[in-house]
Amino acid sequence: MIGSLLYLTASRLDIVFSVCMCACFQSSPKESHLTAVKRIFRYLVSTHSLDLWYPKESTSNLIGYSDADFAGCKIDRKSTSGTCQFFGNALVSWSSRKQNSIALLTAEAEYVAAGNCCAQLL
């Protein structure tokens, strides 16, 4: 099931983080992990008509967005950063991952996410 979901992540960017979190527990899965995987499949069935759209006419602005949660992982208290970069109206790059260091403040987690976003834009 995880293998099928990993294959889908190439075209469904909205499930990447959830699928990767479930893949971390493949060596010792529990009932709660199966429930999470089934929830992802239900989400995919209900959103099968969603897709990415790149219009022909768009501006040449390069825009980046970033966000972070503070100590979102309950195991190691690391924050999760999310960034996306747009060229005009088209999504050209995105990222969602745990930060390397443990942030002591919410602002620190946000600064790390903004730094990652700026580095990708450059």
Quick one: pLDDT at residue 103?
86
Q: Are residues 36 and 75 in the same domain?
A: no
**pLDDT tens track, the chain, 122 positions:** 888 888 888 778 788 888 988 998 888 889 988 999 999 999 999 988 877 666 677 667 889 999 898 888 888 888 889 899 988 777 888 888 888 888 888 889 899 899 988 988 88
Record the pTM.
0.54
53 in any annotated domain? no
Quick one: pLDDT at residue 58?
62
Quick one: pLDDT at residue 12?
80
Q: What is the H or E stretch that residue 90 is in?
A: strand 90-98
Q: Are residues 74 and 117 in the same domain?
A: yes
CA distance 8 to 109: 29
Main-chain phi, psi angles of 78, to 5 degrees: -85, 150
Q: Which domain range does residue 20 map to?
A: 2-46
Q: Are residues 82 and 37 in the same domain?
A: no
52 in any annotated domain? no
Name 25's Cβ contacts closer than 8 Å, sequence gap at least 6: 33
